[in-house]
Chain A
């Protein structure tokens, strides 16, 4: 595959033609903030945190879905972008109910970590305090919509890695809600295989293992790398060597 040369934050880097700006930057040690992107999952560009400036383009582009191009000049960390990102995080906090001090992932939450990194120490808009359900009908896991940021990682991992497509998004805008099957309680879902992949990829405390108390839930995503590598290398297809 052909190679592209581009400039990111003043550095000249090379990338494969089909790489996204996000992954090309990542390969070169440039970390662009993100919440919905997760290596190994198809991208949805749902969170808009990875927005970058591309010279010659008026609109900001999501780095996780924009392919690199020859001689592209990209800026990932301008004051304007920082301000945008801060605003996004604040909106996420204001939209639902995040009480970190009593949250199962406190201390290991991607939203919380990012907020700290971006210097979000208060939110400027009025919190919405929506009354959202907690579904703990599943025998092993629970989903607390109060902490969901609608990144759809769970939807994507369930669909593209597990192949069950238990999760999807219902409603629009601020009424959007992650649902299992056609809106049945998770515990009654016919498609869920109870594999737990969604729980592990969820960036927040929205999806959790039952039995976890405050700050106890830690997410383990090693399976994802394993599966994706195995798929790329076609490892599960046993080679039949002639004896």
Chain B
């Protein structure tokens, strides 16, 4: 008998999604899919608005990584003006981007994923959450909460408001960075580096107990895409695009992020509102690629900061040429947090950050602009078209989670194959969720969808008739 199992939604994700598992007559997994069912259509809302408003508008796409959208949008605006912005503005944007990666990763690792990782995938669901972890390991969780706070504090100090900062716009940023702000920030650094180090040790120490998950929850070769600097090191704000494959071979080097649409394409599938981006020369679906922490560590040759480089060398040992297990997104995230903290520390000593000039003044000089940066979840592209007065005629966003779409589907399928026994048990459901959670998909931003419901598992027979339903209230 063929059954379909539907899990909806994946809890502890920002957004609304569901999973279906299609079984064949033998009860084996035929296919598994990750559906994104809502659509918010942000691109449409932008039309007719002045391009200067875009950073503020775009920051509303997502409450989790507003900064990344502000940055990509500001950069697209810089290009519309046709200017190079003053160094102090660049550095301030870099600073806030590092802070954003830090706080977002802290949320993903400590708040969302560590219950699975530290309490075990099969621990009872009522305990397998942040509160259960709180009971068991208060100090550890507290350090995570503080790491997130650190990131948010920087964003708030510079951007004024914790979420949805409108501090940056076309041409630069709007306020100077002060030594008072620096003094607030430096206080946090030693503690942060220490906490991340402890978390890294903790994660590495439990990895052995997840050997099965590491091997079967999204372990496949794929292309990896990320921004790197001119030397090929980790880069989050301004650089070139590099693509490598599952064995670490360079597929493309020094691609211009402003021309991303010439080498990246988007396919659609009927079962998902989310697009399926791919590397054009390889076609769809062969050209699918992963972005985000795992991709960045695979693509970059080095980190460029002391602690992160040590960890990165060790990290690269986990694969042959490339680390292909999506489970290691978690590890990559922690290493990135380390790197970001180190970069923040460097910036605090950079005199250019404090300079007076923060805005390049210009009026509209181009009709099309592209901005890109590395968001916590991966490479983000904004492409805008404006009329002669600067009113938006069209916006095109290529968002990190969408670029991981195909990989998430593959992960779900692989996980289902491995962990679906004759009967679906909670452990399997948890692993399906966890497979997706590796990517930390922010679904509200990748499909611009919002919403949350209790978890529902629908099992349907060959003709679509419901066999049974398993509910898990959130």
Contacts and interface: CB of A to CB of B under 8 A. Distances in A.
Contacts of A137: 389
A124 to B, nearest CB: 25
Contacts of A214: 53, 55-57, 59, 164, 166
B391 A136 contact: yes
Contact of B60 (A101, A139, A210): A101
B53 A210 contact: no
Contacts of A125: none
A101 B165 CA distance: 11
Contact of A213 (B53, B390, B391): B53
A53 B375 CA distance: 58
A215 interface: yes
Given A104-B53, A134-B48, A142-B50, A216 B391 contact: no
Tell me what chain B mostly uses at the interface: helix, strand, loop, or mixed: loop
Contact of A187 (B57, B174, B389, B391): B389
Interface string A137-150: 10100101000000
Nearest to B46: A102
B49 interface: yes
Interface in A110-155: 134-137, 139, 142, 144
B171 interface: yes
A211 interface: yes
A210 B50 contact: yes
B248 to A, nearest CB: 41
A231 interface: no
Contacts of B164: 101, 214
Interface residues of A, number: 18
B444 to A, nearest CB: 15
A7 to B, nearest CB: 45
Interface in B18-77: 48-50, 52-57, 59-60
B170 interface: yes
Contact of A211 (B166, B170, B389): B170
Tell me what chain A mostly uses at the interface: helix, strand, loop, or mixed: loop
A134 B46 CA distance: 12
B208 to A, nearest CB: 47
Contacts of A212: 52, 169
Contact of A134 (B50, B55, B59, B363): B50
Contacts of A104: 53
B373 to A, nearest CB: 17
Nearest to A212: B52
Contacts of B57: 102, 214
A104 B52 CA distance: 10
Contact of B166 (A135, A142, A216): A216
Contacts of A134: 48-50, 391
Contacts of B389: 135-137, 187
Nearest to A205: B53
A186 to B, nearest CB: 10
Contacts of A135: 389
B390 A216 contact: no
B171 A213 contact: no
A210 B362 CA distance: 11
A139 B363 contact: yes
Given A213-B169, A215-B166, 15 more contacts: A101-B60, A101-B164, A102-B56, A134-B50, A136-B50, A210-B363, A210-B390, A211-B171, A212-B52, A213-B53, A213-B54, A213-B56, A214-B59, A215-B56, A216-B169
6 contacts: A137-B389, A212-B169, A213-B56, A213-B166, A214-B59, A216-B169
